Amino acid sequence: MRKLIFTTLVFFFSTDFIWANEEENPIGILFPQAEFLNHYTARIPFKVIDQLIVVEAEFLNKKGNFIIDTGAERLILNKVHFPKGKRLTKKRKEMTGVTRIVDQPYERKLSEFILHNLNLKNKKSDVIDLSHIEKSKKMHLLGIIGYNILKDYEVFIDLYLNQITLSRVDKRGNKLDDKVYAEEVSDTLDFDLRKHTIVVSGFVNNEKVRFALDTGAEFNQLNKKIDKKILEKFRPIKHLSMVGAGNKKIRVLAGKLYDFRLNERIGVGPMYTIVTNLRKMSEAYGTYVDGVIGYEFLKYKRTIINYKKEKLYFIKSPIFSP
Amino acid sequence: MILFLTFCISVSLFAQKKTQGYRIEGDEVVFVFDKRDYKEVTHGLSQHRKSIDDTAIAIEMIAVAGKFNNWSEDEWIMTKIDENRYELRKKMADFTDEFSWEFKFVINEEYWAEPEGDIENLSKAKRKGKDLNVYNLKMYTAYISENGNAKFFLKGYQQAEKVILSGSFNKWNEELFEMKKAEDGWYLTLQLRPDVYEYKFIVDNIWITDEANPNQKENEFGGYNSLIDIKAYYTFTLSGYKDAKNVMLAGSFNDWSKDGFKMSKTEEGWEISILLSSGKHQYKFIVDQDWILDPNNPIKEYDYKGNVNSVCMVR
């Protein structure tokens, strides 16, 4: 681990945003591999690249990848492919993307789903240079899909079947389709939505903790300023050098966090975790948190997020028993 | 918020080097530690370097530490095979990442064995272009094997000096997979995990597609990459139903055909193995005309007609 160099990227949301507001020709992110379930639900297969959830997509006639990131406030477009200031408009005759899926029996419905339900009408997006991620992960990265896109759906992140299910919800958070999951929900948990951040309360060593659930976190993080009793349950393995924002080198401790419980019934772990100063992170999340749980948590828990109801639902994993 | 782990690596390569530290057998990765392969160890946070002979370390325990287990020194404990060799078997499916992992061997939870010599899969740790003077072993799910499941052949190009096979199976590495010259062209056989891969040949620094392969995909540069779909055998079993006359398997892989795959009777019930593409497949069993879910598989999904089907994952 000492051989590795960590880079933390802190996205500061820029004021340069672009609007997608063509009333008649809504712009959609097109997922060529999506499986259309019914009118308001689609399943999109993803790949895990360096513990990040990556979906294949097409956007404004460009093909590439998007990272699914509940820690990002809104849609982020890669400046390399979408130069700043360009208006996101598109003429109907240029919409060639849909014709590529002619082999699919439900092509018409799929295009409808994309046009009517995953359009970016009145959605803000940030344009940021993401070329360093492209280089280190060797992928063609169009952008990052964040909270302002995901919040209109119930989002099932399934690291067993490697797919994300997006199911449109109404204002109250009720799904517009009823036949979405054939497997039973095994547990339900309330969370707090603070700005765009999913804050989950739980216990470590019987002390209360507040963790942000962030699908863009490669590793779990624990704030080093946290109560000593909680740190007792952290078992260090190695020191790491990390390069933080502004290329400043910091030392962190990597190890495993034991005994994390969401409530009396649900325990998770042990989870690989790094201990670091989360002050900067808290600014980006818009709220103070004791730690961040991401891929490590989702690996154990097939998790459904409902932003409107502020609830998480869990479906049993055949690999890890609760 | 995204926490990115980046490590700049340069893989130094020469022809005919050996792959050290692991081999792949079927769907298993076998980590192999042979103490004769190592001369030096490092230990402590300051990475003191010592000769194995000087320290006269009595090996009590060898562990595999890598990116896949957060470099834990005491979790993946190896089994002693003989005087010099230790092994540890892991299922391929346990490795969730797509391409490669770096790893090392740890002796007695303390000493990190330092690989050296003509090793193909050596990866040099660097920071901002500066050498850190340490190496990790690198494991690819794709590797060269004469008995591999993916044969690549490029006809002609007899005048070329060097032909490299590069693709999504090795993060488009431009050096790793050098093709071998034959009378009629260039060839190489790889062992790959089930998936759909994109690839190209690099003929003396010129990137070309595989002309013999009609399956192509447009890439981000406006050109095309060749596509190869690596499939794997998957065995479906149904316990019981011993009085049934006929049991069929139907699924998304055969367009839900009622008479495509006939299952064979076994002592426990019924069984069939079929070749499947990677990823998710929906299926059901047809027991004497009755469509049933797989009673031993908790994973199921609705299809777009509202039916519930069993689901399997090939990876």
Q: Using one digit for the tens of pLDDT, what is the confidence trace for A166-187?
A: 998 999 999 988 889 999 999 9
Are B2 and A237 an interchain contact pair (Cβ–Cβ within 8 Å)? no
To the nearest whole percent, how much of chain A has pLDDT over 90? 25
Q: Give A115's pLDDT tier (boundaries 50, 70, 90).
A: very low
Are A219 and B3 an interchain contact pair (Cβ–Cβ within 8 Å)? yes
B160-172 pLDDT, tens digit per residue, is 999 999 998 887 8
Return the higher-pLDDT residue of A10 and A82: A82
Is the pLDDT at B310 greater than 80? The verdict is yes
Q: What is the pTM of this model?
A: 0.72
Distance (Å) from the alpha carbon of A121 to chain B's nearest alpha carbon: 24
Are A71 and B6 an interchain contact pair (Cβ–Cβ within 8 Å)? no
A202-218 pLDDT, tens digit per residue, is 999 999 999 999 998 87
User: Of the candidates B70, B308, B309, which has its C-beta nearest A272's C-beta?
Assistant: B70
Return the higher-pLDDT residue of A163 and A19: A163
Distance (Å) from the alpha carbon of B149 to chain A's nearest alpha carbon: 22
B136-167 pLDDT, tens digit per residue, is 666 667 878 788 889 999 999 999 999 999 99
Distance (Å) from the alpha carbon of B183 to chain A's nearest alpha carbon: 35
To the nearest whole percent, how much of chain B has pLDDT over 90? 43
Are B7 and A3 an interchain contact pair (Cβ–Cβ within 8 Å)? yes
Is the pLDDT at A241 greater than 70? The verdict is no
Tokens describing residue A271: 């989870």
Is the pLDDT at B187 greater than 60? The verdict is yes
Are B4 and A2 an interchain contact pair (Cβ–Cβ within 8 Å)? no
Name the least confident of A27-36, A151-160, A311-320, B30-39.
A27-36
Are A4 and B125 an interchain contact pair (Cβ–Cβ within 8 Å)? yes
Distance (Å) from the alpha carbon of A122 to chain B's nearest alpha carbon: 23
List all residues of chain B from 199 to 238 with a beta carbon under 8 Å from chain A: 218, 220
CB pairs under 8 A between A and B: 145
pLDDT of residue B116: 76
- Residue in chain B closest to A132 (alpha carbons) equals B6
Distance (Å) from the alpha carbon of A54 to chain B's nearest alpha carbon: 11
Is the pLDDT at B76 greater than 80? The verdict is yes
Name the least confident of A211-225, B2-16, B270-284.
B2-16
Q: Give A193's pLDDT tier (boundaries 50, 70, 90).
A: very high
Are A6 and B279 an interchain contact pair (Cβ–Cβ within 8 Å)? no
**B303 in reach of chain A (CB within 8 A):** yes
pLDDT of residue A109: 31
**B80 in reach of chain A (CB within 8 A):** no
To the nearest whole percent, how much of chain A has pLDDT over 70? 73
| Nearest alpha carbon to residue A210 among A219, A198, A202 | A202
Are A285 and B1 an interchain contact pair (Cβ–Cβ within 8 Å)? yes
Q: Give B35's pLDDT tier (boundaries 50, 70, 90).
A: confident
Mean pLDDT of B90-115: 73
Is the pLDDT at B60 greater than 50? The verdict is yes
Distance (Å) from the alpha carbon of A234 to chain B's nearest alpha carbon: 14
- Which residues in chain A have Cβ-Cβ distances shorter than 8 Å to B308? 182
**B125 in reach of chain A (CB within 8 A):** yes
Are B2 and A4 an interchain contact pair (Cβ–Cβ within 8 Å)? no
- Residue in chain B closest to A41 (alpha carbons) equals B304
Are B2 and A316 an interchain contact pair (Cβ–Cβ within 8 Å)? no
- Residue in chain A closest to B255 (alpha carbons) equals A105
List, as one string, the DSSP characters of chain B. Answer: --EEEE-EEE----TTPBP-SEEEETTEEEEEEEGGG--EEEETTTTEEEEHHHHT-----EEEEEGGGTT-SSSEEPEE-SSSEEEEEEEGGG--SSSEEEEEEEETTTEEEE--SSBTTEEEEEETTEEEEEEEEEEES-EE-TT-SEEEEEE--TT-S-EEEEEGGGTT-SSSEEPEE-SSEEEEEEE--SEEEEEEEEETTEEE--TT---EEE-TTSSEEEEEEE-EEEEEEEE--TT-S-EEEEEGGGTT-TTSEEPEE-SSEEEEEEEE-SEEEEEEEEETTEEE--TT---EEE-TTS-EEEEEEE-
Is the pLDDT at A141 greater than 70? The verdict is yes
**B97 in reach of chain A (CB within 8 A):** yes
A261, A248 contact by CB (below 8 A): no
pLDDT of residue A247: 47
Complex ipTM tops 0.90: no
Mean pLDDT of B277-293: 94
**B7 in reach of chain A (CB within 8 A):** yes
- Residue in chain B closest to A281 (alpha carbons) equals B1
pLDDT of residue A11: 26
User: Of the candidates B306, B311, B315, which has its C-beta nearest A179's C-beta?
Assistant: B306
B249-262 pLDDT, tens digit per residue, is 999 999 999 888 99
Return the higher-pLDDT residue of A106 and A219: A219
pLDDT of residue A252: 73
